[in-house]
Amino acid sequence: MDKIIVSVGLFFFLNLTTIQTSNSSSSDVDHLNNIINQKQFNKLEKLKGKLESDVLTRWVHYETLLHSITRNPDTPLVEKKLHEFIKENPDHQFSEKLIKSYLNKLDKIVRSSEHLKNKVMNLPNASFKDTVTSVTCLKNTGLEIDPEKFQRLVVENETSTGCQWLIKEWLSKKKLGSRFYIDRARYAANSGDLKFSLQILDLLKRRFDKNVVKANESLVLKIIHKSRRNSRGAYRLFKNNEKKFSSQQKSYLLLQLGTAFFGITHSKSWNLLIQGLDSVAQHPSSTLEIVARMALRKGDFKIFHQAYTSFPDETKKKDNWKYWGAVRSYKKGQFSKAKEQFHDLTDKQNFYAYLANYQVNKSKEYKTTNRSFVLTNPVLSENNISWAKNDHLKDILKLFKSQTFSIALPEWRFFIKDFSTQELLSLASYLSDIQIYDRSISAAIYSQANIGFKLRYPLVYKDAVIKACKGNKVPPWLVMGLIRQESRFNKEIKSSAGAIGLMQILPKTALETYNKNQSELDLTSSTQNIYIGTKYLNKLLNQFNSSIPLSLAAYNAGPSRAKKWHANFSKYNTSPAMFIESIPFKETREYVQTVIISSAIYEELFADIMLERRIEKKNIILNVSEILSKL
């Protein structure tokens, strides 16, 4: 950040005896962080009541209470403190996190769902309390509920504490058939809870006839569990025991392993999937989505259809599967249905809205709105909220500056949740003025206003971008879209992997690209960072034959992975959009989609600048259709 709000008055020194003022400095946040990271909770306890900052006080209370819950949740003192915290912060994400932690820790020591349920029912009301799946399931223990509601509660929630109690209750009473509970055990193993999945098997053997659980089912669960962490190890375990499994178990494991191998682009992935297709409808939605992506990568809409028709309704409602469901209808010759499905997406502002718009209108450009809409900023009243004097905002910004994101983000959401559209746009404008663009963009997006695209897509560092792009033959709006996604224009940000600055460049990559001595390297310099990042992006574009989707995938996940994904992608009956959807890493998939749409919007915002500087539009115009025209 180029500027940060400076606290007025005395800065306090964070120690065990005195807190002088609520105007906390960034060093105070860092000091608090150090105390928490070193697990010095006695020091934190002594700070209670001495902090005048509401934000820092809540943070200290949250951390000390979380520590107490972790040590021993079932004490009157912990229960009292938790109730007090929730009452004081009923709408805060910290309360939700504490409730979840409380339930998980209690679950390990209580012996009955009734005891756990009583603890939950006694919790103070909070806006999110009934939306916590575990709480909802616990509330329904001991009640007569219909099987449909029970299944709706527990299916794909097998790792939720409350739902596990509800499953065990119904299983103990032999409600529903054994097949249902075997599926719950497999889903739990797939989600990472092997212990509970094995508990289900043990309970099945005791409550039902022992023969309902096939031999080696516990081994099936272990392979399922292992496949999501170590796919090669799981495959070896399967091959060593293949002859022991029933045909149903074998089919299930083959598809499970095929989808697990997809994540590492293993050569056996597709063949294993084909061999296990008979079991497709038995798998959880997370596995079915992988099957659908594998089918799109191969251009196989027959297998895509099998996965799609097995999706739960909630999965089908996701924008990506709405779009590909429409493509499926089109492929089947159901043109009117497909057009209707495409049209349902066109009012949104995301990657799939563009794809749907193109199908409906066969337009060559992504029309987010008319040009005046894109380029117009809101007219804001000078008499609006005085953000510069807002202590709450100051403290939140210091949390972001220190990159304490686990605390900063919940505080930010809590801060803006009740603001009107006008207040959010006013806040976004203020933050843009003081060059805190990441929060400015966030506030503008949260407003959901049909104005203010320049706040969502600021033209920051445009001169440095244009200069770097001239020498590297990279479209400037592509670089702007990439910077917006990588750093939200925060030049000081550093990732956990060590990537630095606007274009999030690793020092090793910078040295290889820049051809300068390390002493000359300063990735926090906006000019140098943009130059090196643009040069590296140009290198990737050359390496991947000017394919923007592949180059962006390589920028995010590394060139070697992008090469593997491309080599494994069918050249028949496919499209660049299908390639993007088939990227196995969620982060990379969403990264590519977001940068593409941001770049298309920046093309609109850049157009006037390009004309003013007499740069030929035809050499730099970029739109989503052109991006997706080449892979």
Which residue numbers are catalytic?
Answer: 486
Query: Which H, E and C letters describe 94-134, residue by residue?
Result: HHHHHHHHHHHHHHCCCCCHHHHHHHHHCCCCCCCHHHCHH
Check residue 156 and report its DSSP letter. Answer: T
Convert 32-47 to b/e letters by CB count within 10 Å (16 or more is b): bbebbeeeebebbeeb
Q: Are the beta carbons of 483 and 469 closer than 8 angstroms? A: no
Q: What contacts 24+ positions apart, CB below 8 Å, involve 550-558? A: 550/579, 550/631, 552/482, 552/591, 552/592, 552/595, 552/596, 553/583, 553/588, 553/591, 553/592, 555/482, 556/587, 556/588, 556/591, 556/592, 557/583, 557/585, 557/587, 557/588
550: tokens are 């592949």
1: tokens are 């950040």
Q: Are the beta carbons of 205 and 241 closer than 8 angstroms? A: no
3: tokens are 């500027």
Residue with tokens 């193109």: 358
Q: Are the beta carbons of 7 and 391 closer than 8 angstroms? A: no
3-state secondary structure of 625: helix
> What Cα–Cα distance (Å) separates residue 139 from each residue in 98, 99, 142, 244, 568?
18, 14, 8, 41, 48
361: tokens are 């209108």
